[in-house]
Every structure is written in structure tokens, then in C-alpha cells.
């Protein structure tokens, strides 16, 4: 994340970890002392290719990225969104090649932390090791939910919007009321994620708009009534496992 003075820090990563576990004194410093490289990846470019054997942990600092694979017929399927603070490349721990690829959906800033640094960090700070496990379990839970929701396109789209809202606003303004966030991706990318065509995503957005569940203007999404949207989507945020039921404040 680029601060006001242009310095890039691992702040988003730290924020994510602290939502998952109660960091112990020293853990924060240990993370902030991590050495890392910066990778700028332009929109639509792969950050990690399928088959690559990575030796870094990649942390998204700015922008949106996604995991994806190619279907036999050449079409792309996105299997997860990576938002600021999210990481990928844990395959490095097992020296296993990536079975999927990572693409930048928008221009992205990534931190590349060497595996040895991560291993030292975990050895030093067991809570962080636990946080990494926890984050992976949540990744899996999100994926399970995607499998689960494969029926009724409108509800599926609504559910995805709820997921993104919850993940972007984790720990902030839990109270009901209108919410807003940038949705910097195209309807085609959303279609790739949900296994639907962009045409149909568009139709689904119209349904949601006409039901006053969402409003979207130039890349910015507004949810007038989160509870209403969650109800329509049958969205239950517990699978995201926010510490203390969403009150992720430290």
C-alpha cells in the first residue's frame, strides 16, 4: 500500500492477519521488518503462471487479482478474488508447482516475500503460522460457497457482491446502512468468476437494480440496504470467520 509519502508497506497484510488471530506483541514488528520485493503487474497480465514453482509468498497490496484456470475449451474460469491483504503462493511451502494461475484484474502492486523469510517468521511467531492456516481455511470456505451457490444466477451474483462487501469492509462499520465500494472489474470478469456469460451477468444486475438491491454507476457499487441484499442472497457471513463476529477492531 502506498502511503501519503509514497512508501509501500505490508500494512494490508498485517491488517488481514490481525483480523484472523490475536497477534502477540512482537508479531507486528516482525511483519513490518520483513524484507520484500515489489512487483507491479498491469491489468490482464499474469502475476504467476500455471505450472510455475514459486519461491515467494505473494501479497496483494493494491488492486484486485484473481486465481483462474483455463477450461478445456479455452474459456477462463476465475476461482477466487484476491483483494488487498490477501496472499497466494503458499504452494512454495511444499515446493509444488502452481496448479492455477494468478492474474491482475486491475493494475496491481504485489509484495514478494521470500519463502525463507516466511518460514523464519512463522518459526518466530507461531500465531502468524496459525493465521496463515486460518486464511487458507477461509479461502477453502469461500470456494466451497462458490460450489454451493451454483444455482440461480441472480442469487449467485448477489452472494458474490455480499462476499466482496464483507471482505472489503471487514471490521469496519458493521452496522446496517448504505454501503459503497469500487468494483473495478468488468461484467465479463464477474461472468468468468460465476461461470456465466457477461450477457447474463448484465441481466442479473438489472434484476438487482430494479429490485433496488444494488446501484452501480461507473465502477462504483452502492448497496442501499445490506441486510436486504444479504437476505436476497441468503448470505451468511459466518463462513468468513471474522474474529469476534465481525468486530475485527483491535
Partner DNA sequence: CGTTCCCTTGACACCGATCAACTCTGGTGG
Partner DNA sequence: CCACCAGAGTTGATCGGTGTCAAGGGAACG
Residues that bind DNA (CB under 7 A): 151-154, 186-188, 195-200, 202-203, 205-206, 218
Triad 166, 76, 60: Cα angle to 5°: 45
Residue number, 11 or 155, with CB nearest to a copy of itself: 155
Residue 184 class from Cβ within 10 Å (0-12 exposed, 13-18 middle, 19+ buried)? middle
Least distance to DNA, CB of residue 60, Å: 20
Least distance to DNA, CB of residue 207, Å: 9
The partner in contact with residue 90, picked from DNA, a copy of itself, none with C-beta cut-offs of 5 to 8 angstroms by kind, is a copy of itself
Spell 210-221 as b/e; 16+ CB within 10 A means b: eeebbeeeeeeb
Instruction: Please state whether 173 falls in left (phi above 0), alpha (psi between -120 and 50) or beta.
Output: left
Q: Is residue 199 part of the contact set for a copy of itself (CB under 8 A)?
A: no
Q: Is residue 141 part of the contact set for a copy of itself (CB under 8 A)?
A: yes
Least distance to DNA, CB of residue 204, Å: 7
Alpha-carbon span 127 to 115, nearest angstrom: 17
DSSP 2-58: B-TTS-B-SHHHHHHHHHHS-PPTTHHHHHHT---EEEEE-TT-EEE-TT----EEE
The partner in contact with residue 238, picked from a copy of itself, DNA, none with C-beta cut-offs of 5 to 8 angstroms by kind, is a copy of itself
Alpha-carbon span 34 to 171, nearest angstrom: 25
Among 9, 83, 133, 200, binds a copy of itself (CB under 8 A): 133
User: Using an 8 Å Cβ cutoff, are 91 and 48 in contact?
Assistant: no
Least distance to a copy of itself, CB of residue 50, Å: 10
Alpha-carbon span 88 to 79, nearest angstrom: 13
Residue number, 49 or 143, with CB nearest to a copy of itself: 143
In this chain, which stretch among 9-17, 107-115, 149-157, 174-182 interacts with a copy of itself, using CB under 8 A? Answer: 149-157
Among 17, 57, 90, 154, binds a copy of itself (CB under 8 A): 90
Binding site for a copy of itself (CB under 8 A): 20-21, 67, 69, 71-72, 77, 79, 90-91, 93-94, 96-97, 99-100, 130, 133-134, 136-137, 139-141, 143-144, 146-148, 150-151, 155, 195, 234, 238-239, 241
Amino acid at each position: 500500500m502506498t502511503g501519503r509519502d509514497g512508501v509501500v508497506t505490508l500494512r494490508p497484510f498485517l491488517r488481514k492477519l490481525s483480523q484472523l488471530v490475536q497477534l502477540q506483541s512482537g508479531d507486528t514488528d516482525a511483519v513490518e521488518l520483513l524484507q520484500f520485493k515489489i512487483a507491479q503487474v498491469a491489468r490482464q497480465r499474469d502475476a504467476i503462471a500455471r505450472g510455475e514453482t514459486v519461491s515467494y509468498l505473494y501479497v496483494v497490496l493494491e488492486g484486485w487479482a484473481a486465481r483462474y484456470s483455463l477450461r478445456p475449451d479455452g474459456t477462463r474460469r476465475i476461482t477466487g478474488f484476491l483483494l488487498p491483504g490477501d496472499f497466494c503462493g503458499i504452494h512454495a511451502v511444499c515446493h509444488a508447482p502452481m496448479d492455477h494461475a494468478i492474474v491482475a484484474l486491475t493494475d496491481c502492486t504485489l509484495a514478494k516475500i521470500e519463502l525463507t523469510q516466511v518460514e523464519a517468521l512463522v518459526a518466530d511467531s507461531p500465531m502468524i503460522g496459525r493465521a496463515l492456516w486460518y486464511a487458507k481455511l477461509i479461502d477453502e470456505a469461500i470456494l466451497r460457497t462458490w460450489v454451493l451457490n451454483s444455482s440461480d444466477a441472480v442469487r449467485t451474483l448477489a452472494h458474490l457482491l455480499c462476499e466482496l462487501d464483507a471482505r472489503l469492509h471487514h471490521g469496519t462499520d458493521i452496522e446496517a446502512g448504505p454501503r459503497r465500494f469500487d468494483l473495478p472489474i468488468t461484467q465479463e470478469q464477474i461472468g468468468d468468476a460465476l461461470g456465466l456469460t457477461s450477457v447474463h451477468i448484465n441481466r442479473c444486475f438489472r434484476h438487482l437494480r430494479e429490485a433496488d438491491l444494488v446501484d452501480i454507476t461507473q465502477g462504483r457499487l452502492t448497496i442501499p440496504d445490506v441486510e436486504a441484499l444479504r437476505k436476497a442472497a441468503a448470505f451468511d457471513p459466518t463462513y468468513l470467520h471474522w474474529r469476534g463476529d465481525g468486530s475485527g477492531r483491535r
